[in-house]
Structure 1
C-alpha cells in the first residue's frame, strides 16, 4: 500500500487554516506531524480519516484493491471514544466485532498495553492514562494498515510511552504505516516529519478572489 497526499488545504469558518500539505507514506514508514496549537494538525488527521472535507488537494491510497481508505485505517483522536459503563475488555470486544479483520483478542491487547489486571473494570473507574491505553489497545484488536494518531502519548506516563513506541515500531515492522501528531518526541526510528504552519489569509467573500481581487 502507498498513501499519497497532494496539496491539501483546510478551511474553518472564514479562515484558511493551512494549505500546500503534501507527503507520501510507504509501508513501514511513519510521519510525525508537528506545529503550534491551532495550526491544524488535528484537522489534517480529520481530513485523512474522512471526518472533514479538504478545501483543495487529493488523497490517494494505492494497493488497497476495492477497499476504500476508511476501511484501511485506525483513527485515535483526542477523545478516547470509550463506553464508560462497559469494561475495558467489553469495549475492545465491541471494537473488534465492529471493525472486522480481527487481530489480537481483547485480553491479549490489554496485556500488550499493561492493563490485563483491569480487563473487567468498567472504563468509568479507570484513570485518564488507563483509559488512553484502552483506546490505543483498539489498534491491536483489528488489523488496519494505516494508523492515524492524534497526540497518542497524551496522559501516558514514561513507561506507557515506551510501550506505545514498541507497539508502533512493531506495526511498522509488519508493513504498517503511521501518521501521528505530537508535541512530545515519539522516538520512532527514521520517521518523516512535517510541520504545519497556520496561514493568516482570510477567505474571500463570495464572488471575489483571494486577497479581495476579482476571481
Structure 2
C-alpha cells in the first residue's frame, strides 16, 4: 500500500518577522509527489514562511506537523565553502546529512567536470548549481526552495527543473518560492498575499519591538 500521509501539514499557521506578523491562517497539506509554488511580491512573507516550515523560526500561532528529518531548505545563500573543491563540498554535506555518494548530484547539475575545482573560483551560476546539488546529497523528501533559480542561466534552470521533476516522480515533494515557470505539471500555486496578517493596533506596535 502506498504511503498517503502528508509530508507536511499546517493549520491556521501564522508567521512573522522581527516580532511583526506577516501571514496568518495558512493551511497547507503537502503530499508525496506534489509541488507548491509560492507567489507574492517582495516582502510578502514567502521567505519567512519557508523558514518557519523548515523549523528555523517558530510559528506565531497555529500548528505545523512535519518530520524535521524529511526537510531540506535551499535559501538565498548557497552554503558553499570556498576553500573546498566542488567534490569536497558535496562530501562535506553528505557527512552532515548522513548519506553517501555524490556522483548523482554531480551528474544532475552538470558539475562532474568541475569536481576538482575550488569553489572560490566558480562563477555565481556554478556556485548556485553546487548549492542546489546539496538537495540531491541530502536525501530528504521535502525540498523547501527560496528563489532557487537566481544566478542560473536558461540551461541551468532546465537542469534544476529536471531535478525537481525527478524528485517528485520518486515520491518527494517541493515548496518553491519563484516567479519562474519551471514547466512542472501538475503543480499548485499559492499567492501568499491572500494570507497577509492584519497590521498591529497602535497599542500593540511598540510591544512588537520591545
Tell me the TM-score normalised to structure 1 length. Answer: 0.86
For the 8 Å contact 2:142–2:172, the answer to whether it is kept is yes
Q: Distance in 2 between matches of 1:99 and 1:203?
A: 44
Residue in structure 2 matching 1:180, options 176, 179, 182: 176
Quote how far apart the aligned CAs of 1:13 are.
3.0
State the aligned residue count. 198
**Equivalence for 1:107:** 103
Structure 2: unaligned runs, 5 residues or longer: 205-210
**Equivalence for 1:213:** none
For the 8 Å contact 2:86–2:116, the answer to whether it is kept is yes
Residue in structure 2 matching 1:123, options 119, 122, 126: 119
Q: Secondary structure at the match of 1:85?
A: coil
Tell me the TM-score normalised to structure 2 length. Answer: 0.88
Residue in structure 1 matching 2:23, options 18, 32, 47: 18
For the 8 Å contact 1:150–1:181, the answer to whether it is kept is yes
For the 8 Å contact 2:90–2:137, the answer to whether it is kept is yes
For the 8 Å contact 2:16–2:22, the answer to whether it is kept is yes
Matches within 5 A, 1:6-155: 6-61=11-66, 69-102=67-100, 105-155=101-151
Cα 1:86–1:175 shift into 2, 3 Å = same
Q: Distance in 2 between matches of 1:100 and 1:204?
A: 49
Quote how far apart the aligned CAs of 1:101 are.
3.7
Quote how far apart the aligned CAs of 1:7 are.
1.3
Structure 2 residue 3 is matched with structure 1 residue 5: no
Q: In angstroms, what is the RMSD of aligned CA positions?
A: 1.7
Residue in structure 2 matching 1:171, options 167, 174, 187: 167
The superposition leaves residues 73-100 of structure 1 with CA deviations (integer Å, 9 ceiling, x where unpaired) of: 1110000011111111101001001101
Cα 1:203–1:169 shift into 2, 3 Å = farther
For the 8 Å contact 1:15–1:200, the answer to whether it is kept is no
